[in-house]
Homo-oligomer: A and B are copies of this chain.
Amino acid sequence: VIEPPLRIAVDAMGGDRAPAHVVEGCLLAAADGDVRLLLVGREAEVERELDRLAAGKGSILSRIELVPAEEVVAMDEPAVTPLRRKPDSSIRVCVELVKEGRARALVSAGNTGAAMAAVKVVLGTVPGVDRPALAAVLPNAGGRTVLLDVGANVDTRPSHLREFAVMGHSYAREVLGTATPRLGLLSIGEEESKGSEFSREVFRVLQQTGLEFVGNVEGSDIFSGRVDVVVCDGFVGNAVLKSAEALADLATRMLQEEIDATLRSRLGYLLARPAIDRFTERTDYAEYGAAPLLGVPAGCFVAHGRSNPKAICSAIRRATEFVRARVHEKIRDRVAELHDEEQRVTARAAGGAGSEPETLAH
């Protein structure tokens, strides 16, 4: 069976250099004949970029369809904007295309909060999932770590982190190809007794999941390769992700400053440049594409506002893999299994509790 080409909706107006960088990223991604892109945004602006960038790329252009949307949600507007004030915004139209079945996934480098809100409200969640979570894919010593939640939720309950664990596990296995993902709970100190009241409760919940739960891990293990999936509340994950991104930027800038300071080091840089470029590539967020919003019934990828064309292209590829691997169906099935298991455990416990008073009365 040959599957028909996948349709992905792309928010042409999202990102610091939109629509130019988004259009360029779409042209890169559409070089793959397996995908069709619905490019959503202000018609005249997007067309101008397509004309400028797609000269002589007729066959690629035929895989891109322009879908007009006249409004744009700015980076600093409230998350509810696409739901309330701007129903004809590019991000809202992307979400509607998915809802209508015209696209199977969407990619946006625009306002993250607005994209998440529109997706959650318009598409709803996967059955059994209470809280969708934003996952970051980060480099580690031997591969990649999935960290979630990095900002979709605050004030979570322990049962939400169990959902995050199941979703992160499915993503690592189905999209990143990690055969048996090892799961860690972000905490302070590794022993079971360490952590906050909340994290100790989550520990007990994660022990019941049947996933390969290695226990508490510390912030350092996000980058060590000791685990493949790290779960935490969105407040903590957001602080970790944003500080890590800023540190990587600061380090790159400092290195460049020092190299630029003398002729000798500039010469050395010319020689070492391929190595330094490979290094930059290994640590560049653009390589990792975008953050998937897990737990919603479609592939929804939120890319960094600064996304360059390569990052947009990566995000589209991840979205394609996500849909082909049926990740959200797998999340749904696994969550349902967990619920069944819990009910059995609860029923057994209730049966035990029912007979216990009698036993004690003897």
Contact residues of A with B, CB < 8 Å?
113, 139-141, 151, 154-155, 186-189, 195-197, 199, 218-224, 232, 234-236, 238-251, 253-255, 258-259, 261-262, 264-265, 267-276, 278-279, 282-283
Contact = CB atoms under 8 A, between A and B. Distances in A.
A222 B235 contact: no
Nearest to A150: B188
B234 A188 contact: yes
A264 B278 CA distance: 14
Contacts of A195: 154, 235
A248 B222 CA distance: 12
A239 B238 contact: no
A224 B279 CA distance: 23
9 closest residue pairs by CB, A with B: A268-B271, A268-B272, A219-B242, A219-B243, A265-B275, A220-B246, A258-B275, A223-B246, A219-B239
Given A197-B155, A218-B242, A259-B275, A250 B139 contact: yes
A66 to B, nearest CB: 33
Contacts of A197: 154-155
A220 B248 contact: no
Contacts of A199: 235
Nearest to A233: B196
Interface majority SS (helix, strand, loop, mixed), chain A: helix
Contacts of A224: 246
Contact of A265 (B186, B187, B255, B271): B271
13 contacts: A154-B197, A218-B242, A221-B246, A222-B243, A223-B243, A223-B246, A232-B239, A247-B248, A251-B283, A254-B283, A255-B279, A264-B272, A264-B274
A254 B270 CA distance: 19
Given A154-B197, A220-B243, 12 more contacts: A186-B239, A219-B238, A219-B239, A219-B246, A223-B243, A247-B247, A258-B276, A258-B278, A258-B282, A259-B276, A267-B272, A268-B270
A276 B255 contact: yes
Given A219-B239, A239-B186, A262 B282 contact: no
Contact of A268 (B154, B187, B255, B273): B273
Contacts of A154: 188, 195-197
Nearest to A281: B258
A203 to B, nearest CB: 13
Nearest to A113: B189
Nearest to A242: B219
Nearest to A261: B275
Contacts of A151: 188
Contacts of A273: 265, 268
Contacts of A139: 250, 254
Contacts of A255: 275-276, 279
Contact of A269 (B187, B240, B244, B272): B272
Nearest to A139: B250
A222 to B, nearest CB: 5
